[in-house]
Amino acid sequence: MEDNAIPSKQLVLQRVRNRIIEYFELAGDPQAQAKFGPNMVVSYWEDWQSLLYASRLPAPVFSAPELSAMQAFDLSWHAVANITSNPMPPIALLRGNPIWQLFTSSAANALAVFAIRGRFSEDREAVT
């Protein structure tokens, strides 16, 4: 693909997929959470929430199990967002909270689902 070419819809979705995988790597890793802080970890997901509709994240770039994993994670995200103050308490305090633990494990579970097919190319349409 040329540097100035407009990417196809599928290529854009592949890039979105890769960013979502990166998010799950962050949200599912307590060490990464500590590095970025809870406010950033939680707030960053808001960038992707408007895409949580199958029509916006279609196959073949997103599989049905991947969409389900994202929706399950989103439920845990809402639980965290609804019970924590703004600004959020330090990560060390959150780690003992069962809702935060669910948030972290839901992100790790979603990452495991996405890892089955892995990242897609950023430069060419993947054959899926």
CA separation for the pair 67, 54 (Å, rounded): 7
* For residue 77, pLDDT beyond 90: yes
Q: Give pLDDT tens digits for 19-69.
A: 999 999 999 999 999 999 999 999 999 888 766 766 788 889 999 999 999
CA separation for the pair 107, 25 (Å, rounded): 7
| CA nearest neighbour of 15 among 126, 92, 122, 97 | 122
CA separation for the pair 90, 58 (Å, rounded): 37
pTM flag (> 0.95):
no
